[in-house]
Amino acid sequence: MNILVAISNVPDTTTKIQFTDGDTKFNSAGVTFVINPYDEWYALVRALEIKEANIAQKVTIIHVGLADSEATIRKGLALGADDAVRIDAEGPDAFFVGEQIANYAKANGYELIMVGKETINYNGSSVGAIIAGVLDLPFVSLATKLDIEGNKATIEHDIDGGTQIIECELPLVLSAAKGMAEQRIPNMRGIMAARTKPLTVVAASNATPLTSIKSFTLSAGRTTCKMITEDDLDELVNLLHTEAKVI
Amino acid sequence: MILVYTEINKGRVKKASLECLNYASKIAQLIGSSVTALVNNADESQLLEIGKAGATKILSIKNDKLNSDGVYICAAVEQAVKAENAKLIIFAFDITGKAVAPRLSAKLKAGLVAGAVDYPVVNGSTLEVKKNVFSGKATAVYSINSDVKIISLLPNSFPVKLGDNTATVVDFSVDLSTTISKIIIKETKSTDVAGMIPLPEAELVVSAGRGLKGPENWGIVEDLAKVLNATTACSRPVADMHWRPHHEHVGQTGVAIRPNLYIAIGISGAIQHLAGVNGSKTIVVINNDKEAPFFKSADYGVVGDAFTILPKLTEALKKFKANQN
């Protein structure tokens, strides 16, 4: 069994977000990029654990992006993935990205496709279900536990107001959430090995994005915090009622 | 025609679905269209409520398969889109909407904006829709360029208003004979607490962190939540240490929430926590460390010991509630 893990290249969580070109583009100057945490900690690490248990033969990383994302892809290889594929395109929207990954997966035979539950830059939670839609595969969202036995996956996942354990025949697509695995730090041997692991660059297949971003606006955030002393909690209640109007 | 996927959960029309119906009804006025709701297993009173929330027509399905796998919901919506010639489809950006709307987007080649926070603006044949990006640090305006368009609406973006409209109810039978589900449900566990609104729908949330020092001290948090009729939540370390159940964890890796009021007690305000709660309309922070970063992201702050402040705040709220009645 081969596993395909889709990763996104995102600004580190602590990045101060800025835009450029008349607020139409993210300003990447001086920004540290990382593997999207949900793709890395939960999807990729669980895929590697499954391979280490000799249940999967190969873990491949796939990313839709330009050459500047290769340092991030190499980090995934350093964690232990066998090889990587970069679809050479900017990835203008979730549909475009999902369709590229689906086409690659179909042509190259993967039984399990894993993504993180969302990306921390565009927060769309869409790519996994789009891949499943293009390929007509089952989709399990918010997986917190995954075990594979033969051709059958047993998955625990979050549902509205609870959790559910399901079984599903492979192939399938899933999105991974907290609980799947613990974060790993690549070791020196992994980092050295990553340099020579195959990273194949593939031209994008024909696909038209269905959406485009017109402009960005920074959120205003909160400017002032009104401090209230602990002897004046009646005033806090009063402010919540008359000023904030939330109680 | 605007189609709204409407969901019944635990005997009620989901609040997020009512918000979608309100939202669609406003868009229908804007572009001169009408709202059709698609719903499965709704009873008389639920159908009535869907009409009051803004649907003029309801496609009523009775098919238990739809409760088992999103592929069936996707097929049902796809058939309704074709039957009604819908050009815009609205989902809630909740667990169902996140699994089904993108699948439908791939099936119909319909552009999707996932997690809209405002009404769309019509620009020629496109719709321009705002959504949160960078985990709430910014918003982006997306243009949907395809003929058929899908929007999923971030829950708690708009308050629910019910009018006196009555919808025409039509039985809608879906053909699921060619739709295959391979998912076999083995076990379902509910994390709902009796009498408490689930976190994603809660308008008032009382949340506590490591500052509470141990799970045995949660009584004062629960007392405060009870007087407000609020839902309890916690920070990541608290869930990781098993002081509180996993489903109470709010933040980037847990549940993202946007209630009207979020009271954070003994939570320092790490950036990952903020990413999951910064959509809250009003934030109150109670912390004994006046340098806690959370105060910079709060509307109201109280510096001091949670063990003395919480009982006092609970009393102050009891007095307020008594005066209101």
Sequence-distant (≥ 6) Cβ neighbours of residue A83 within 8 angstroms: A58, A60, A61, A77, A197, A198, A199, A200
Distance CA B212, CA B267 (A): 9
Sequence-distant (≥ 6) Cβ neighbours of residue B178 within 8 angstroms: none
Using 50 as the pLDDT threshold, list the residues of chain A that sit under it.
none
Note whether A236 contacts B132, CB cutoff 8 Å.
no
How many other β-carbons are positioned within 10 Å of the β-carbon of residue A75?
A: 22
Instruction: Report which residue type is found at B245.
Output: P
pTM: 0.95
Distance CA B108, CA A212 (A): 17
- Residues B78-82: contacts with CB under 8 Å, at least 24 apart: B78/B104, B78/B107, B78/B108, B79/B174, B79/B175, B80/B3, B80/B36, B80/B38, B80/B172, B80/B174, B81/B3, B81/B108, B81/B148
Taking only residues 56 to 95 of chain A, the set having a beta carbon closer than 8 angstroms to any beta carbon of chain B reads 93-95
- Residues counted in chain A: 247
Taking only residues 14 to 33 of chain B, the set having a beta carbon closer than 8 angstroms to any beta carbon of chain A reads none
Sign of the torsion formed by the C-alpha atoms of B68, B71, B74 and B76: negative
How many other β-carbons are positioned within 10 Å of the β-carbon of residue B1?
A: 17
Question: CA-based Rg of chain B, rounded to a whole angstrom?
Answer: 21
Sign of the torsion formed by the C-alpha atoms of A78, A62, A197 and A12: negative
Q: Which residues of A touch B136 (CB under 8 A)?
A: 219
Chain B's closest residue to A11, CA to CA, is: B134
Chain B's closest residue to A96, CA to CA, is: B106
Taking only residues 6 to 25 of chain A, the set having a beta carbon closer than 8 angstroms to any beta carbon of chain B reads 11, 13-14, 17, 19
Chain A's closest residue to B298, CA to CA, is: A225
Distance CA B132, CA A94 (A): 15
B253 touches chain A (CB under 8 A): yes
Which residue, B115, B185, B197, B124, is CA-closest to B150?
Answer: B115
Which residue, B295, B315, B278, is CA-closest to A227?
Answer: B295
Chain B's closest residue to A12, CA to CA, is: B134
- Residues A223-226: contacts with CB under 8 Å, at least 24 apart: A225/B285, A225/B295, A225/B296, A225/B298, A225/B299, A225/B300, A225/B301, A226/B299, A226/B300, A226/B301
Distance CA A195, CA B243 (A): 43
Chain B's closest residue to A121, CA to CA, is: B134
Q: Which residues of B touch A225 (CB under 8 A)?
A: 285, 295-296, 298-301
A210 phi and psi, to 5 degrees? -100, -15
B193 touches chain A (CB under 8 A): no
Using 50 as the pLDDT threshold, list the residues of chain B that sit under it.
none
| 3-state SS track over B83-115 | HHCCCEEEEECCHHHHHHHHHHHHHHCCEEEEE
- Which CATH code fits A2-216? 3.40.50.620
Domain ranges across chain A: 2-216
For tokens 């596993």, what's the residue? A3
The pLDDT score that the predictor gives to residue A49 is 98
Note whether B103 contacts A139, CB cutoff 8 Å.
yes
Q: Which of A122, A233, A246 sits opposite B313 (nearest CB)?
A: A233
**Closest Cα in chain B, distance from residue A197 (Å):** 31
Which residue, A72, A97, A68, A94, is CA-closest to A204?
Answer: A97
Which residue, B238, B247, B239, is CA-closest to B193?
Answer: B247
Distance CA B141, CA A217 (A): 8
Q: Which residues of B touch A131 (CB under 8 A)?
A: 106
Taking only residues 116 to 175 of chain A, the set having a beta carbon closer than 8 angstroms to any beta carbon of chain B reads 120-134, 138-142, 154, 158-169, 172
Which residue, B43, B244, B241, B198, is CA-closest to A160?
Answer: B198
Note whether B112 contacts A229, CB cutoff 8 Å.
no
The pLDDT score that the predictor gives to residue B10 is 86
Distance CA A8, CA B137 (A): 18
Lookup: tokens for B290: 């006046």
Q: Which of A158, A169, A239 sits opposite B300 (nearest CB)?
A: A239
Distance CA B116, CA A28 (A): 25
Q: Which of B106, B111, B303 sits opposite A227 (nearest CB)?
A: B303
Q: Which of B103, B131, B309 sits opposite A133 (nearest CB)?
A: B103
Q: Is B121 exposed, middle or buried (0-12, 13-18, 19+ CB in 10 A)?
A: middle
Chain A's closest residue to B16, CA to CA, is: A160
**Closest Cα in chain B, distance from residue A210 (Å):** 5
- Inter-axis angle of helices B95-108 and A94-108, nearest 10: 70
For residues B23 and B119, the answer to whether their CB atoms sit within 8 Å is yes
What is the DSSP annotation of A132-143? HHHHT--EEEEE
The pLDDT score that the predictor gives to residue B319 is 96
Instruction: Report which residue type is found at B300.
Output: Y
Q: Which of B93, B96, B272 sits opposite A13 (nearest CB)?
A: B272
